[in-house]
Structure 1
Amino acid sequence: MTHVSPQMPLHGANSIAARDIASVLHPYTNHAAHRRNGPLVISRGEGVRVFDDSGKAYIEGVAGLWCAALGFSNERLVQAAADQMRRLPFYHGFTSKGHEPQVELAERLLEKAPVPMSKVFFANSGSEANDTVVKMVWYLNNALGRPAKKKIISRIKAYHGVTVAAASLTGLPYNHKFFDLPIDRILHTMTPHHWREAMPGETEEAFATRCAEELDALIQREGPDTVAAFIAEPFMGAGGVIIPPRTYFEKIQAVLRKHDVLMVADEVIAGFGRTGNYWGSQTFGIQPDILTCAKALSSSYLPISAVMVNERVYDALSSGSDSIGTWGHGFTYSGHPVAAAVAVETLKIYDEMDIVPHVQAVGRRLQAGLARFRDHPLVGEVRGVGLVGAVELSQDAETRKSFDPARKMAARAVALTEQEGVILRALPSDSIAFSPPLIITDAEVDEMLAGFGRALDRLAEEVAREPAPAV
C-alpha cells in the first residue's frame, strides 16, 4: 500500500503516488492531508476485491461508491463495451437522433419501473440526473402556466449530487460551505432518523407522523402554490444509511398529494436490487412521478444515469417544447451508445442471476452479522436493509451521546478496517457504511465483517488508552 509525502525520497519521485500528489485534484478529499499522506493507489480488481499497487487485496465493502454491483472483473461488460465501440463508438440524441442501445435501455427501464412511466432521459451521473430534475420541474410549471410553483423540498442529510442545483438539494454542510449554496427555491425538511431524532418514547409511526406534519407545515408556510416537488432517497445514503421509519413515505406522500407536489425518487444508490427489491421505491412504498437512477445501472463500468418521468410530466415537457420550439436541455453524452450497451448488458445479467432473491438471501447474512455489533461498547445504532447497512458509533448508546467530532471516530475505524483488508466508508455522525457488490457471497460477507470487527476492537483499545474527555 502506497502512502507517501511530498518529501519522499528521490528514487520514488516517479511512483504513481508521487505523480498523483503532483497532478491530481481529487474529489471529496482534504488536500492538505493528501499532500502529507498520499493516496491509496488501486491497481486492479477481481470479483468483490480490489488490489493496491503493492498487491494487497481488499474486500471493497462499499462497492467503490455504492456502485460496482457486479464487482470489478465482469468480462461480459468488457465485451459489451468492446463490441459497441467497434459498431458505433459515439452518437448523440439531439434533434430527434437515435440509436439502438439507447432505445433498448429505455425500453428495459420502463419495463422494470416501479410505477408506470412514460419516457427516459439519459445523463452521465446521478448529479446530472438530479440537476435535470430541477430544470424539468421548473420547465413544466412554466409550461403549465404556474410560474410561481418552483420550490423543491429536500431533506437535511440528503445526498443528491454536486452540481450547483443537485448540491443545493443535498442537505450536508460540506456540500454547501464555501460554495455559496444552496441556491434559492431549494428548501430542506427534517431528517427521518428515528434513533437520532425521535423524542423519548416516540414510536417510529409517531415519529413518521411528526415528519409529515413538519413537511405539511413547511409547505403551508411557503404557500402550496409555490412548492413544486419533494425529492427523497428511499434510504438516505451518504447522509448515514438512514432507513425511514415505518409509515414514513405513506404519510409524506399524503401531504404531497394534498398540495399537488410531485414526488421525485432518487434511486441512484437504492436501485437495481440493493434494498432487496428491484427498486427502493418498492421496498418503501414510494410512487414517484420522476425517478432518477445511475451507479448500478451499468455497474459503473461506464458513466450513465437516467431520469424516468410519468405521462403527466412528459406531457408538460412536450407542450413546452412545442411552444418554444425545443426542449433546450441535454448532454453531448446523453445515452452514449457504449455506456448504454454496457447498461443493457448489466440489466440482462441482473435478470439472469435473479438479482432480487439473491440480494434478499445474502442481505440476511449481512444484516444478521451487523446486528452482532449492537452490544459493542463503541456502537450506538446498527441499521440497514437488503445489502446495505451502517454502524453508528456513539459515546453512550443509551443517551445517544455522540463522540466529539474532533476525535474522528468513524474515520479512524475505517482506517483500521483498511489495514485489515476491507474498504468501508465513514459518513456523517460517525456512521460507517457497508454496501458491497451485489455478487458478494455469504463467506465474503463474513470475511468483511470479521475484518471490521477486528478493527473496531482495536479502536476500542485505542480509546481506552486515551485521556478521558473533559466534562
Structure 2
Amino acid sequence: LPANHKMFDLPIAGIIHVSTPHHYHGAKPGETEEDFATRLATELEETILREGPETVAAFFAEPVMGAGGVMLPPATYFEKIQAVLRKYDVLFVADEVICGFGRTGNYWGCQTYNITPDIITCAKALSASFLPISAIIINDKIFQGLADGSATIGTWGHGFTYSGHPVAAAVALETLKIYDELNIVEHVRTVGGHMQKLLRERFEGHPLVGEVRGIGMVAAIELVADKANHKNFEPSAKVGPRLAKAGEAEGVILRGLANDTIAFSPPLIMTTDEVDAMVDRTARALDAVTVQLRRESLTVV
C-alpha cells in the first residue's frame, strides 16, 4: 500500500518483505499454483538463512490479503510456508483483522487455510465495529514467555490505559453472542457461496475483467487493459475510481484498491437477494465504464 508508506518513513528497519503470493501477477508462464507456492516457500527459506535464523522473530500474514487487493493464497502456500517457519523456529502471526469472525466461511481465516498460528491479531468484527476494540490471542508458548518475564521484573511491563475497557468488552461479548445466535458462519457459507458463483458467472467473461477472486463473503474483480497478458491500466486512467463513481450512480458503493481492483466485503447478514442486486448494479456500472474506455481507445479488444 504505497500511500500508507509514502509520508511515514516506511518501511522501517528490521522488517523484510517476501514476494506477494498472488498467482495471477506473480507466477511465471505455465507455473501452477503449487509450483508457485513452492518457489515462494524457497524464497522465504533463503531469506531467513540470509538474515540469520536467530535474528528472525516472526512471519506476519493475512490468511486472505484484504486491503492489498483481496489476494487469496495459491494452493499449498500456507502448508509450505509453515513447514519453513517450524524448521527455523520462527513464530507465525496471523492478521485476522479482516478475515476473523466468519468472513471467509469459517470463524477464523486460519481455519479456512489450515494455519496453526502462534499469535492472532483481531479487531473490527470483534464488536461488529460498533465500538473500537482489538485483541491479541496467543498460544501457551508465548504466554509462558510473558509470564516468566513478568515474574522476573515484578510486573507486566506494558501499557494498560484502555486495555479490557468494560464498555467495549461488553459490546464485544454481546456481538459474539449474536454471531452464535444467528449462526453467522453457516450463513456466510450459504450466501458467500452464492456471491462467489454469481461474481464469476457475471464477470469472468467480461472484456475488462482480468481476474475474479474471493472466498466466503470477501471478493474482488481486477480490471485490466489487456486481458490476455494480465496487463493493468495506467494509474493515470483512474479506471477503478471511475467504476466506483459509476457504481454510485447505480446505487452501489464500491471500493477501489490497487491495480484497479474493486473489492466486495458486504455485511455478513446480507441475503442472496441483496447479493443479486449488488452484482446487477455493479454490472451496469462496469458496462458504462467500458463504453467510456472504448471511446477513449484505452482497452485492448
**What TM-score, normalized by structure 2, do the two folds share?**
0.97
**Match for residue 440 of structure 1?**
270
Deviation at 1:326, TM superposition (A): 2.0
Deviation at 1:275, TM superposition (A): 0.4
Deviation by residue 1:394-435 (Cα, 9 ceiling, x = unmatched): 111211011011111111111111221111211111100001
* Separation in structure 2 between the aligned mates of residue 250 and residue 397 of structure 1, nearest angstrom: 31
* Separation in structure 2 between the aligned mates of residue 264 and residue 383 of structure 1, nearest angstrom: 24
Give the one of 119, 124, 137 matched to 1:295. 124
**Match for residue 213 of structure 1?**
42
* Separation in structure 2 between the aligned mates of residue 205 and residue 279 of structure 1, nearest angstrom: 23
What letter matches 1:198 in structure 2?
A
- Give secondary structure in 2 for the equivalent of 1:187: coil
**Match for residue 279 of structure 2?**
449
> 2:243, 2:285 within 8 Å by CA — same for their partners in 1?
yes
* Separation in structure 1 between the aligned mates of residue 239 and residue 160 of structure 2, nearest angstrom: 41
Give the one of 197, 216, 240 matched to 1:386. 216
Deviation at 1:468, TM superposition (A): 4.8
- Give secondary structure in 1 for the equivalent of 2:66: coil
- Give secondary structure in 2 for the equivalent of 1:188: coil
Moved over 4 A (4+): none
**Match for residue 420 of structure 1?**
250
**Match for residue 322 of structure 1?**
151
Deviation by residue 1:186-214 (Cα, 9 ceiling, x = unmatched): 11110000011100110000001011111
Structure number with greater CO (CA < 8 Å, separation at least 6) is 1
Task: Summarize the alignment of residues 81-230 of structure 1 with structure 2, pairs less than 5 Å apart.
Answer: 172-230=1-59
**Match for residue 358 of structure 1?**
187
What letter matches 2:147 in structure 1?
S
Deviation by residue 1:134-180 (Cα, 9 ceiling, x = unmatched): xxxxxxxxxxxxxxxxxxxxxxxxxxxxxxxxxxxxxx222111211
How much is the aligned-residue C-alpha RMSD, in angstroms?
Answer: 1.3
**Match for residue 228 of structure 2?**
398
CA 1:221–1:468 in structure 2 vs 1: closer, same or farther (change >3 Å)?
same
CA 1:468–1:339 in structure 2 vs 1: closer, same or farther (change >3 Å)?
closer
**Match for residue 250 of structure 1?**
79
> 2:256, 2:262 within 8 Å by CA — same for their partners in 1?
yes
**What TM-score, normalized by structure 1, do the two folds share?**
0.62
> 2:62 aligned with 1:233, yes or no?
yes
* Separation in structure 2 between the aligned mates of residue 398 and residue 302 of structure 1, nearest angstrom: 45
> 2:222, 2:262 within 8 Å by CA — same for their partners in 1?
yes
> 2:104 aligned with 1:275, yes or no?
yes
- Overall identity of the aligned pairs, in %: 64
What letter matches 1:215 in structure 2?
L
Which protein shows a greater Rg? Answer: 1
> 2:295 aligned with 1:465, yes or no?
yes
Give the one of 310, 317, 336 matched to 2:139. 310
- Give secondary structure in 2 for the equivalent of 1:300: coil
* Separation in structure 2 between the aligned mates of residue 389 and residue 422 of structure 1, nearest angstrom: 15
Deviation at 1:324, TM superposition (A): 2.1
Task: Tell me the matched-pair count.
Answer: 299
In structure 1, the gaps of 5 or more residues are 1-171
- Give secondary structure in 2 for the equivalent of 1:253: helix
What letter matches 2:159 in structure 1?
G
Deviation at 1:327, TM superposition (A): 2.2
Deviation at 1:367, TM superposition (A): 0.4
**Match for residue 260 of structure 1?**
89
* Separation in structure 1 between the aligned mates of residue 79 and residue 169 of structure 2, nearest angstrom: 34
Deviation by residue 1:34-60 (Cα, 9 ceiling, x = unmatched): xxxxxxxxxxxxxxxxxxxxxxxxxxx
- Give secondary structure in 1 for the equivalent of 2:6: coil
What letter matches 1:231 in structure 2?
F
- Give secondary structure in 2 for the equivalent of 1:189: coil
Task: Summarize the alignment of residues 24-35 of structure 1 with structure 2, pairs less than 5 Å apart.
Answer: none
* Separation in structure 2 between the aligned mates of residue 320 and residue 328 of structure 1, nearest angstrom: 9
Deviation by residue 1:9-67 (Cα, 9 ceiling, x = unmatched): xxxxxxxxxxxxxxxxxxxxxxxxxxxxxxxxxxxxxxxxxxxxxxxxxxxxxxxxxxx
- Give secondary structure in 2 for the equivalent of 1:303: coil
